[in-house]
Amino acid sequence: MLDLLLRLFSFIDRSNIGNAKLAGLDSDLGISTGTAFNTALLVFYIPYILVDVPSNLLLKRVRAGVYLPSLITAWGLVCTFTGFTKSFAGLVVCRLLLGLFEGGILGGVIIYLAMFYRRHEMLYRSGLFYCAAPLSGAFGGLLASALGTVEAGGYRGWPWIFFVEGAVTVVFGILCFFFMPDTPALATFLTAEEKEWALRRMQKDASGSTTVDVDNEKFDWGWVMMALKAPQMYLCAAIWFFLLISLYSFSLFLPSIISGMGYTSTIAQLLTAPPNMAGFVTVILTAYFSDKLKNRGGFIAVGIIVGICGYIMLLVSDQDPVKYAGTFLIAVGVFQASPMLMGWVSNNLAPHYVRAVGVGLVISIANCSAFIGTFVYLQRDA
């Protein structure tokens, strides 16, 4: 449950800028024309991409139960203070800091989960983690529809989206310090016998390799070279790169897409919830059945095809109901493929440091797609 909530707050805090735009952020900051808003979206991904591999390597040295909650609390504070922004330059600084602190979360949680779950169990857990992406879109839209009308303390509308959502993340981050164990061997909620059983089952999953004991594994540059020579890492990174172009553009601009159909800001925020909930349900179901059937590639291929059909509906139709139906197909298609790919990578890279480097590189390469995805929808095309 902690990993689901962590990802939920992560996605809400990075994508709420799209909701804030509908609530007046762009006009208040003077970025309602040109590509300034797209630039503010883009700068988030620069530190996000750069910090992933070093953050994954740092995870074990600092202790996961301290490092991950520290990142959560830090980005929650950044999100909160974004509400005080008065200029485009201030918004850019906030987005850079948000990307810096969120950059270590995705790879860190995947590696963290791999300490507790065996390979055939990982996809469903990754699915629970990733289903927070569409869930955040649903909750974010509902929250923004209410917070965007708040006027108090000299602030009206969009600042309250950042104030409230950031503050909730800070509280969650502080709680994680008390409930997130570093490794199975240090989990206070397990008995000594349960800890021993947890280590044995992970050793069995790694064909008896003692390196599964992440408390004793030592860093060696040979692990880095092993990760760099893994062809499956580059294949998954390439597939995920193209998939994330559609996922990021959809997540960030869905409120604007629906608003462009003629709905008011508040109604458009509310209408983002149904397609995102459809994506949420699909992620859960496909992750479950993928683990049961031990099949990843088939689900990825079907999801991509469904997403393409949704984009075709948005592109060629001039009927708003058809366009809105297309957003459901996009959500159903693109959201479920990401956990499949991430689970695939995590399943096929071991031991700990090989997985840390490989997962970090895949995330870094794939997230370069943000340089395209954040400029898919421009203000002049609205």
- Poorest-pLDDT segment among 49-58, 118-127, 195-204, 213-222: 213-222
Mean pLDDT of 27-43: 87
Q: CB within 8 A of 37, min separation 6: which ones?
A: 21, 26, 31, 379
Pick 96 or 50 by higher pLDDT: 96
pLDDT bin (cut points 50, 70, 90) of residue 128 is confident
Confidence (pLDDT) at 210: 40
What band does 335 get if pLDDT is binned at 50, 70 and 90?
A: confident
13-27 residue pLDDT tens: 988 998 899 888 989
Please, what is the average pLDDT of the chain? 83
User: Residue 313 and residue 100: Cα distance in Å, rounded?
Assistant: 36
- Write the CA distances from 322 to 111, 264, 272, 318, integer angstroms: 40, 19, 15, 8
Beta bridge partners of 151: 156
Cβ burial of 274 (10 Å; 0-12, 13-18, 19+) is middle
What number is the average pLDDT over the span 52-76?
A: 86
Find out whether 74 and 319 touch, Cβ atoms under 8 Å. Answer: no
- Predicted structure pTM score: 0.76
Give kind and range of the element (H or E) at residue 187.
none
**How confident is the model over 129-173, as pLDDT tens digits?**
777 778 888 888 888 888 888 888 888 889 999 999 999 999 999
Between these two residues, 376 and 301, which has the higher pLDDT value? 301
At 90 the pLDDT is: 95
Phi, psi of 88 (to 5 degrees): -65, -40
Q: How far apart are CA 56 and CA 321, in angstroms?
A: 44
d(CA 243, CA 220): 33
Whether 13 contacts 98, CB under 8 Å: yes
Token pair for 185 = 């061997």
* In the predicted structure, residue 185 carries a pLDDT above the cut 80: no
Range of the domain at 74: 2-381
Nearest to 13 by CA among 116, 144, 198, 184: 144
H helices, E strands: number in the chain: 20, 2
Q: In the chain, what is the straight-line distance between the N-terminal and C-terminal CA atoms, in Å?
A: 39
Instruction: Say how many domains are in the chain.
Output: 1
Higher per-residue pLDDT: 159 or 263: 159
Residue 87 backbone dihedrals phi, psi, to 5 degrees = -150, 165
* Angstrom distance (rounded) from CA 240 to CA 230: 16
Reading the block at residue 160, the tokens are 């309250």
Q: DSSP 3-state assignment of 152?
A: strand
Higher pLDDT among residues 103 and 344, named by residue = 103
Could you tell me how far CA 300 lies from the centroid of its own chain? 18
- Of the listed ranges 68-72, 296-300, 348-352, the least confidently predicted one is 348-352
The CATH number assigned to the domain holding 204 equals: 1.20.1250.20
